[in-house]
Structure 1
Amino acid sequence: MRWTVGSAHTLYQDQWVHLQTATVDVPDGPRFDHRIVRTANGAYALVVHDGRVLLLWRHRFICDTWGWEVPGGAIERGERSDRAAARELLEETGWRPAGALEPLVDFFPMGGLISAHHHVFVGHGAVHVGAPTDRFESERVVWVPLADVRRIIGAGEIVDGTTLLALLALLERVG
């Protein structure tokens, strides 16, 4: 069954988030108010080289957790998702993909509440350009052996949903 939106109104909006309330009709069901969080779409880059994947070790203050994450962030207005992924990779790690990034997986991380569409790409090989320009993004940037990815997932060292899905999709692809 398809839910339909009768009307939507802004509750709050800034450069990062647009919070709306929407009147929703459910076929043969009630009409009710629902909240919608609209944010920018995201682009993420997994780069693999010599059996290793480039990850960030970072703290997330909102959930007060530490964990490994794939480099990525918001797609800017008019920017292609693959170019955004390459830009974010360079800004957050200081590494540039050696070749084209290929689509790996697309998904909506919280489709029942948040509008963001995440695009994950994979690249093979990288060129070190220098220090990350976004130094505040992580405590360290590490080439993690692919052979260790299942272990760090099992150890709870990956708490970010986008990273978890991206790495599982990568493991599925590489076997």
Structure 2
Amino acid sequence: MPTRWKVHGERPVYENRWVDVWSADVEQPDGQRVDYQDVKLRNLAVAVVLNDRREVLMMWRHRFVTDSWGWELPMGLIEAGETPAEAAARETLEETGWRPGPMTPLLYSEPANGITDSRHHLFRADQTAYIGPPTERNESDRIEWIPLTDVRPMIDRREIVSGATLVGLLYVLMTECLR
């Protein structure tokens, strides 16, 4: 019968407002004890916003960590006292200038649960209204409505590489195909 890893203690190694690195004294199922590092991150909310023309709202942006450009869905960290759905709606408005309608839970993801505790909450909105230019001017270079039929070729060309974006778009494409 499988057994759980047993944590004998944890301590912070490095902490700031974006990321915390912890060291854990862990006993593995075979009885071996190891010093295991894990990254603690705030949880993320992601919005897949669709219009009645079967287009998805996306942002073309630069990620300095990988020095790469790509199309992404609106997303951001969930603030204290905020629900994941509220965060997804807020981030969409701040980053794109579009206010999404009701946010329907799409899926939940733990993108790298062997190294980080980050949880991703993805939502779908099928209604939206343009409010004005985005208030977060550092988030993207362009904001566009991308036809769902263009998403797969964009993935193949590595124009969409963000994990949270891929998970949300692939789930929507799968759902659309099953209808």
The TM tier, using the shorter chain, reads over 0.9
Instruction: Name 1:65's counterpart in structure 2.
Output: 68
Instruction: Name 2:97's counterpart in structure 1.
Output: 94
Instruction: Name 2:20's counterpart in structure 1.
Output: 18
Instruction: Name 2:81's counterpart in structure 1.
Output: 78
Counting only pairs closer than 5 Å after superposition, residues 24-173 of structure 1 correspond to structure 2 as 24-49=26-51, 50-97=53-100, 99-173=101-175
Q: Secondary structure at the match of 1:158?
A: coil
Distance, in Å, in 2 between the alignment partners of 1:29 and 1:137 is 47
Asked if 2 retains the 8 angstrom alpha-carbon contact of 1:107 and 1:118, the reply is yes
Asked if 2 retains the 8 angstrom alpha-carbon contact of 1:106 and 1:119, the reply is yes
* Cα shift at 1:55: 0.5
TM-score for both structures, normalised by structure 2 = 0.95
Sequence identity percentage = 46
Asked if 1 retains the 8 angstrom alpha-carbon contact of 2:102 and 2:127, the reply is no
**Two-structure CA RMSD over aligned residues (Å):** 0.9
- How many aligned positions are there? 174
Structure 1 runs (4+) greater than 6 angstroms displaced? none
Asked if 2 retains the 8 angstrom alpha-carbon contact of 1:18 and 1:39, the reply is yes
Q: Secondary structure at the match of 1:163?
A: helix
Distance, in Å, in 1 between the alignment partners of 2:59 and 2:8 is 42
Distance, in Å, in 2 between the alignment partners of 1:140 and 1:4 is 47
* Cα shift at 1:27: 1.8
Question: Which residue identity lines up with residue 148 of structure 1 in the other structure?
Answer: D
Asked if 2 retains the 8 angstrom alpha-carbon contact of 1:65 and 1:159, the reply is no
TM-score for both structures, normalised by structure 1 = 0.97
Q: Which blocks of at least 5 consecutive residues in structure 1 are unaligned?
A: none
Question: Which residue identity lines up with residue 105 of structure 2 in the other structure?
Answer: P
Asked if 1 retains the 8 angstrom alpha-carbon contact of 2:79 and 2:87, the reply is yes
Distance, in Å, in 2 between the alignment partners of 1:118 and 1:4 is 25
Distance, in Å, in 1 between the alignment partners of 2:73 and 2:93 is 12
* Cα shift at 1:105: 1.2
